[in-house]
Structure 1
Amino acid sequence: MINRLNIIFLFIIIIMITLLSRVYFLSIKSNTYYEELSKRNYISRVQKIPVRGVIEDRHGKKLAVNQMGFSILIKPHLNSKKNKQKLEDALDLIVEHFPDIEKKKLLKTYNRKNSAYNHDFVKVVEYIPYQDFFPKYTLFSSKDSMKIESAVKRFYPYRKAASHVIGYVGKASRLDILKNELSAHNGIIGKNGLEKFYNDKLQGQIGYKDIKVNALNKEIAIIDEKEPSIDNSIKISLDIELQKYIQKIFGKRSGAIIVMDANNGEILSATSMPEFDNNIFASGISVKEWNIMRNDLNHPFTNKLINGLYPPGSIIKMGVALSFLENGIEDNYTINCSGSIRIGNRNFRCWKRFGHGKVDFRKAIRESCDDFFYKGSLRIGINKISQTLDKFGFGRQTGVDQVNEFFGVNPNKLWKEKKFKQPWYVGETVITSIGQGNMLVTPMQMARYTAFIATGKLPKPHFYKANYEEPEDLKMPEAQLNTLRRGMYDVIHHPKGTATKYVKTKIAIAGKTGTAQVVSIPQSEKVRMKESELKYFQRSHAWLTTYGPYKNPKYVVNVLVEHGGHGGSAAGEVVSKIYDKLYEMGYIKSRN
């Protein structure tokens, strides 16, 4: 009997708790819920979109700006029989005043964006410049079937200058919008270069205004407001006047040129040739324009500074020499270069047919003796060479503030086993020691490495101060670096230096030439063909990497000329003019 009463009491208590919980929900919780719904009915939030920040060069010259204008929208659901004439009139009005706009395209755009579920005005014209549209603003805004909104278009005043570095904006895709909420409101997003790398900074933070409205949706009061961010601009290290000058003297050749502060990695100029006008993307590129540029064998769309992969040729020799010294080869190591070395069934030839005679470290750099590096590499092996070059950033990204930077290839035994499932051969060691074979680098990696040779510290290349990092001290013995530096000085100034005949600058500089073969030379070829005798796309790439002034290094100038042949003859004049310009512009104060 007692158990039954207990069960009845328990049942009554459960019912009471349930009823009290329901009363609490209806009186308290649901009140909060419906109050929130009520707020949504009478509070309207208006998003306030920030203006995209400006990109300036180091002297404040505008490299990427916003041009003001207008867009034209047409009322939805006008393509029915009843309203078709209103649509025709609206389209005819646009074409009458702006003849360059095609009516067929306008109608196609309207039909694509219009639907039974869409109740917003349909944007048919994205942008018309302010000066072109403003005189007609009153006419268009007076039409009930049309709506005029302010619009902004990205503009690059210097057009082809530094186009790869600056990058461009484009229409935000669905994937872009998923990753970046603000792009859904302004419709654009950085697609390349600095525009993409610093997109979050440049686009800023969205603001809003919460407005109290009545039953007729008329504004009664402003409840809350937050302004969009205005600190969206960036000032970069690039000097646009120097950039223009370098593009002018480089002419129509293909390649890459980097001028970088040797001490902190700040980039004054970075040119990937040929360049292209970024404004074609901001305005919308035609299929014809796209196909012409895409099929250009000189690859104008490729940012060769970070995405061009090339054999380094002889400019890798300073790094390989440091590996020799780091791995037990004596400072006074010498060899006798007779013009070739035989390994197995193959002759590995020095570029100088009858050899260089007795060669030490300094002479090996000065006269670019291949045989010196062949023989030294056989003593220490590819793995140790690869380990040393890894310290200098080869096979790794430099961290420069550009998107999709390539790693390059710093080959060794394990790399080949993983990639090709094949063993490493001795012959591959000797050709890698002179920057051929599987080794591939970017011009940005070479500029950074040259800065290390000049200063003893490895900087991080950058355009914007937010990407600066303290240069890395690799603890390389100064005496060893000085031996190589003297060899690089001789390259430019010694009678037998490989660039002496071609570099004529007022600044005392050090450098290294490189000739990176595109096609291999058959063993049957006794005398090497001249580069000028080869077809253009079979000619070697030409390197000349330098730093100056020699005694107090300030800047690295690294030049790559695609299919240019010999580094000194192809790039010597360009390098000379760049240093003279740096002196003229006040970047270099002392000639020594």
Structure 2
Amino acid sequence: MSEPSIFFTEVNERQGVFHRRAFLMGGLAGMGLLALTGRLAHLQLVEAQRYEKMSASNQFNFRLVPPPRGLIVDRNGVVLASNRPNFRLLVAKDGKMDPEATLKTLANFVPLDAARQERLTKDLIRAPKRSPVSVMEDMSWEQFSAINVRAPEMPGVTADMGEVRVYPHGGAFAHVIGYVAKVNKEDLQPTGPNSEAIMLHPGFRIGRQGVEKAFDLRLRGRPGAQKVEVDANGREVRQDSGGDIAATPGSEIQLSLDADIQTRALEVMGDESGAVVMLDCRTGDVLCMASAPSFDANRFVRGMTGGEYRALANYERKPLLDKAMSGLYPPGSTFKPTVALAALEAGVDPEQRVNCSGGWYYGGRTWRCWKKGGHGSQNMHDAIKNSCDIYFYQTALRVGPDPIARAAHALGFGQVFDLGIPGQKKGIVGSRDWKRKAVKREPVWQPGDSVSYGIGQGYINVNALQLAVMTARLANGRKALNPRLVRSIGGKELPSGAAVPDLPFKQEHIDYVRGGMIAVANDVTGTAYRQSQLGLGDVMMAGKTGTAQVRSYDNVSNRNSNSVQWKLKDHNLFVAFAPYDAPRYAISVIVEHGGLGGATAGAPRAREVMRVALLKDPEIRARIEKPLPMPELTPDGLAEGAAPEAPIAGAPPVLPPPGGHI
């Protein structure tokens, strides 16, 4: 019986299937090994550098370093704002850290009361992971050392040294320079320079006022980075100083201010409230722009308590207000030179006289002069010298408001100047058109408005900067000078304030008004003669006093304000330029509620500040120190008080007989 052939057929088929499958699997395995070999070769040969960098990035990290903020200096290079080392305490939230317990531990080494701990705990909870929160600034060396020694035991705690802004002159420049403070939520923006990561760094500060705010981007510079080695959890292990990226300091800003003049201005203001502004009559440079009382900008850098800020904000003399640019006051009699110039341009004869009897009845009321009994017959020169109100009442009524407004605008009133910093207020310069738009209850200019306008009251409000510009333009006599506060940024000079058109006045009219101002300070009958003597030889100044009322004096027999409360006293003003024969410097002083008469408070302070400026000027100092010429001999060759000649021998002279003559 034969064996079935189907047995061999099945074996062969099964063996063939096995071989095919083995070949397929072997091919797939070979292809996989080949692909793996190729991939390994690609990773090790082609992308080796890339993964080396990725590995290093896991091992090392870069920590942002705020750049040194740019210096702010005065015209002579005296530092007004700089940076100093600062030991600070930072805490970064970590997954294993208990913020509340950490702060309680830190309170054993640095002063942290319960309220501050509570606030910092909330800040740490809200902060992103590993984003440091500033716990304390300006630690002492002992505190800094104590924290550093225990840092390994306190995860997330770092004590390092950064920089903090410092203002060496305290409050002397606070309103002009401003201050820096921590970044808040309102400062952050989705795009632009305020969206950068450095804004969230606890050591970063942003400008809040004055030059610090206006030129914040130029002062910031570019941040750097510190290379540090980290562990698998991202915690810092050590620093690698070789890989640090240096920060780029901010630009240096040079101001036109003079530190000596500014400091002296704040000294002479004392406890008074007001402003002092001084300009260079040739270039328009602002040499002094002081507002009193002031505040210490360093306190804002460190951070003020709510109570401290409320005390400053609620003080009646308003130390936070920049009275040089933002404080508006009636100019009083310091406006009379402007009225006189407008009258001359309108064709008024300066020799035409007005009789001042102490009062002038017009419009159903008696308009009084400041001098009881009056000044008598006055021409324009005498009226400026004596500050006669009756003369300027009638002159303003005769000229009208529009010519006066045109002259006021030409001299700098009602303007906002490009100083580079914010905060200026335009003020008011009244005219028919202005009143029609601004005073809806009575849009028509009345004759009585002109009467008050003539003595710097009514529809006229100015600031100390505008008064100084007016004085500087009159002193210059030719150019409509603009004030310049910033001289250079990063070494690049800014345009001078003298690159301006000429004044729209005739030279003889300017000279006439200046002559009246010279008489104010140098004629013995001038309103500021005694208070305007500089004591610097033949270097003398010209000026104009002013008193601005803050209340009505109807039915008041005596305007003396010695017995009234401070806020009811008149404002006291004074403007001046010197030397009067070759003007170099112009100054304006406003003493808020300083009392009656610009010579009582404003002029003495202007004199002291002017002396500093004149004595610092090499040319003026040489003129002051120049020896006086020797007195000339009398025609007969004899000098009064000289020693007698030696006696000579000879016969005695013949004497006349008693009662007789030779």
Report the TM-score, using the length of structure 1 for normalisation.
0.83
| Distance in structure 2 (CA, Å) of the matches to 1:248 and 1:67 | 26
Query: Across the two proteins, how many residue pairs are aligned to each other?
Result: 545
Deviation sequence 1:279-311 (CA, Å, 0-9, x none): 111111111111211111111111100011100
515, 521, 524: which one aligns with 2:547: 515
Deviation sequence 1:430-484 (CA, Å, 0-9, x none): 1011100121100011011100010022322233214544323214221111111
Match of 1:319 in 2: 338
Task: Note the 1:86-485 alignment, pairs <5 A.
Answer: 87=99, 90-98=102-110, 100-115=111-126, 118-129=128-139, 131-136=141-146, 138-143=148-153, 145-148=155-158, 149-178=160-189, 180-181=193-194, 183-185=199-201, 187-206=204-223, 228-421=247-440, 422=442, 423-456=444-477, 457-466=479-488, 468-471=495-498, 472=500, 473-485=502-514
SS at match of 1:304: coil
- With 536-545 and 156-165 compared, the bigger mean Cα shift is at 156-165
Task: Note the 1:489-500 alignment, pairs <5 A.
Answer: 489-500=518-529
Match of 2:572 in 1: 542
Q: Is 1:74–1:123's contact at 8 Å kept on the other side of the alignment?
A: yes
| Distance in structure 1 (CA, Å) of the matches to 2:254 and 2:609 | 23
SS at match of 1:445: helix
Instruction: Quote the offset at 1:171 in angstroms.
Output: 1.7
SS at match of 1:229: coil
Distance 1:129 1:57, change over 3 A: farther
Match of 1:557 in 2: 587
Instruction: Quote the offset at 1:276 in angstroms.
Output: 1.1
Instruction: Quote the offset at 1:275 in angstroms.
Output: 1.2
SS at match of 1:518: coil
| Distance in structure 2 (CA, Å) of the matches to 1:65 and 1:159 | 12
Deviation sequence 1:42-67 (CA, Å, 0-9, x none): 98886554211122223333222222
Instruction: Quote the offset at 1:277 in angstroms.
Output: 0.9
Instruction: Quote the offset at 1:329 in angstroms.
Output: 2.1
Structure 2, unaligned stretches of length 5 or more? 1-49, 489-493, 627-662
SS at match of 1:531: coil
Instruction: Quote the offset at 1:581 in angstroms.
Output: 2.7
Distance 1:210 1:439, change over 3 A: same
Structure 1, unaligned stretches of length 5 or more? 1-36
| Distance in structure 1 (CA, Å) of the matches to 2:273 and 2:551 | 18
Opposite residue 357 of structure 2, the aligned amino acid is S
Q: Is 2:100–2:121's contact at 8 Å kept on the other side of the alignment?
A: no
Deviation sequence 1:107-145 (CA, Å, 0-9, x none): 431333325x83224414142347455433631442451
| Distance in structure 1 (CA, Å) of the matches to 2:316 and 2:567 | 10
1:488 aligns to 2:507 (yes or no):
no
Q: Is 1:121–1:147's contact at 8 Å kept on the other side of the alignment?
A: no
SS at match of 1:96: coil
Instruction: Quote the offset at 1:73 in angstroms.
Output: 3.2
Instruction: Quote the offset at 1:586 in angstroms.
Output: 3.8
| Distance in structure 2 (CA, Å) of the matches to 1:303 and 1:142 | 49
| Distance in structure 2 (CA, Å) of the matches to 1:154 and 1:125 | 18
Report the TM-score, using the length of structure 2 for normalisation.
0.75
| Distance in structure 2 (CA, Å) of the matches to 1:317 and 1:492 | 15
Distance 1:489 1:206, change over 3 A: same
Q: Is 1:64–1:155's contact at 8 Å kept on the other side of the alignment?
A: yes
| Distance in structure 1 (CA, Å) of the matches to 2:119 and 2:246 | 37
Identity %: 29
SS at match of 1:280: helix
Match of 2:90 in 1: 73
| Distance in structure 2 (CA, Å) of the matches to 1:162 and 1:235 | 13
- With 295-304 and 572-581 compared, the bigger mean Cα shift is at 572-581
- With 253-262 and 468-477 compared, the bigger mean Cα shift is at 468-477
Q: Is 1:320–1:385's contact at 8 Å kept on the other side of the alignment?
A: yes
Opposite residue 185 of structure 2, the aligned amino acid is R
SS at match of 1:465: strand
Opposite residue 164 of structure 2, the aligned amino acid is K
Q: Is 1:400–1:460's contact at 8 Å kept on the other side of the alignment?
A: no
| Distance in structure 1 (CA, Å) of the matches to 2:265 and 2:53 | 59
| Distance in structure 1 (CA, Å) of the matches to 2:118 and 2:564 | 55
Distance 1:40 1:260, change over 3 A: farther
Distance 1:124 1:201, change over 3 A: closer
SS at match of 1:529: coil
Distance 1:226 1:328, change over 3 A: farther
Distance 1:140 1:270, change over 3 A: farther
Match of 1:27 in 2: none
Query: Which structure's CA Rg is the greater one?
Result: 2
Instruction: Quote the offset at 1:531 in angstroms.
Output: 3.0
Q: Is 2:97–2:156's contact at 8 Å kept on the other side of the alignment?
A: no
Instruction: Quote the offset at 1:317 in angstroms.
Output: 0.9
Opposite residue 288 of structure 2, the aligned amino acid is S
Match of 2:32 in 1: none
Q: Is 2:274–2:323's contact at 8 Å kept on the other side of the alignment?
A: yes
What is the Cα-based RMSD across aligned positions, in Å? Answer: 3.3
SS at match of 2:590: strand
Distance 1:125 1:172, change over 3 A: same
